[in-house]
Structure 1
Amino acid sequence: MSRIAVFFVLVLFSCQGQSTNKAQQKTDTVDAKIIVPKNNTVSCEQVITQLVKSSNAIAFSQFGNTLVQVAVAYLGPEKLTIKLYVINDISENPSEKRLVEHAVGWLEFHQKTGQLLDITNDPDNSLTLRYDKRIAQEHDLSSLCYSKATIVKTGSGYALRDVMLVKDIKFNGKLDRFFTRSDFEKVFGRPDSIQLLKDEAPCVTIFDTEAPDDKYLYKSGSRFETSGDSVAVEDFWFLNGNFISYNGIRIDANTTIEDIQQLFPTAVNERQGMDKAGKLWVIRLREDNEGIVDGHIRMYFKDGKAQSIHWWSPC
């Protein structure tokens, strides 16, 4: 009889244990939001995307969590810079799509502190975001994101998002940086004036030919260098309706420095005053992702609006 009693007691405790375990599992399932499983195939971009998607970033309230896409724009020694963007069709012809990326937000993830900051509106006064911290805890981001990444040295002054690739620029929406003399006249008309390079004596030239008949063409404040029939932009002013199209985004005399901050937030944040009064600002943009080119592109602003861009090279 005593053996039977002991048997029933063991069965009772066993059932209660199973019930407790099931209840605990149910509670864990309900409380969990997003848990990224550990595996060796997940990428840095995938983890960061899920981490950001679990946050309260400003862009999500404006454009929706579904439309906004996430990309790691810069891997630094202490932080990841994250671009939030949407894809728009800018084509005027319904049968031919022209899809371009449009940045709608910028975030920074500081791995040591675990802070996720929204720097979209003001990099100097960032907004600390909430996010599901278990996503970062489930993965070694140092290994995922930095093991094979090229890290920009602290103090270099540039981030990958500060790059303005020449292939993405269209002058007046039609011309690349290099074109022919006939293309120049079709788009800009006849030059206002012409000067021989040897008379201007520049310390560096674009074509680097030192030919005696190389010239500068001047038009509406802009300066173009020629070599034979080839023409290249050196200075381009947003005067008389002239503009550039960058990745489908128009930049002209009405473009504000706040507009440019959406494209190049670090460069705008690190802008330099070019006179004592601080009325003329300049930002510096790299020409390549690898940092091979010594020069850079300078974009000037007057009274808070874009004035011109200039290709600068060291002598």
Structure 2
Amino acid sequence: MERNFEMINIRGTNRRFLVSVVLVTMAIVFYYLTFRQTLRSIPTNDMETIQTKVVLPSPRNRTGTWIGNTWIPPAGWQYHTPCELRQLYRGKNIMWLGDSTGRRTAMNLYALLQWNHSNFLTTELSSPQLIDITRHGSFECDQYTDAHARPTICRTLDGGGTITFVPLMCHKHVEHFFQSEDTLNITQNMDLIVVALGIWEVLRPWDCKADNRTLENITSAAIHSVYQFERSTHKRIIWRTSGYPDHGPKSTDAVTKINEMVMDMIDQTTEVDNTHFSYLNWGGAVQPRSKPGERIAGDVKAHYGLEPRLVLIEMITNQLQEEGFFG
């Protein structure tokens, strides 16, 4: 009798266990079917966003550090060899808009991409024949001769691609450039546009003034013009914050204020859209090596030596690499 009772208990326990297993299995299947149906109800474009969207750190804080004259990239970034740069930029058409600090970096990038070297001398990359070409207002480029903002340099790279430079000194000039009818023609084949200026706003403010407009108004209009241009063309545009002239703490404070204003305005302008317009805080990166006695100096007080120019090339390359710009 007791044995029969034990058998009944065992059978009852097994039955309850089997029922539990069945209920759990049904719940898992129901959850899976419900989740799959939810995914099916999401539009394809949203699904792609869910799968591919990566939130990158703010470029405002990605400035790296220095050991002597060697820049240490922020976490996740790296240095690139000349061969790696040539592979990445092969076939890319790059336009630089800016002052002499922008031109000098543009021509350093040209040399790294064009000269088939594994090693470069400082004297090569700092040669006036390279970085100061068209310094006194001459034109090497014979294209777009009737344009209001005419390129002074337009060079083709042997490996494919081009480097073009358009001299723009002030924020108001950026505004006019991106509102000009000429700009669509000049930029139609460009893959990347780098805006590299800002120091004239401090050193030569009388050249950068506009009637009845404050610097804030002019800068806001310039950034809005760039943004609207990007919205209509989908060109990749990077605004580089300004470096610092060796003119003492007053000019340093003025540059810092302008750089912060530019970054704030670009953040506010682009925060709600998936845009191809952003900035790099090169000014923040080179600030520690801009102080008197610690400066990596160039030929004049507004210029830097070679290393800060190479830093900008690395910053641009790393940011574009993270975004999948190179494919």
Q: What's the TM-score once normalised by structure 2's chain length?
A: 0.30
The structure in which a higher percent of residues are helix is 2
Point out which structure has higher relative CO (alpha carbons under 8 A, 6+ apart).
2
The structure in which a higher percent of residues are strand is 1
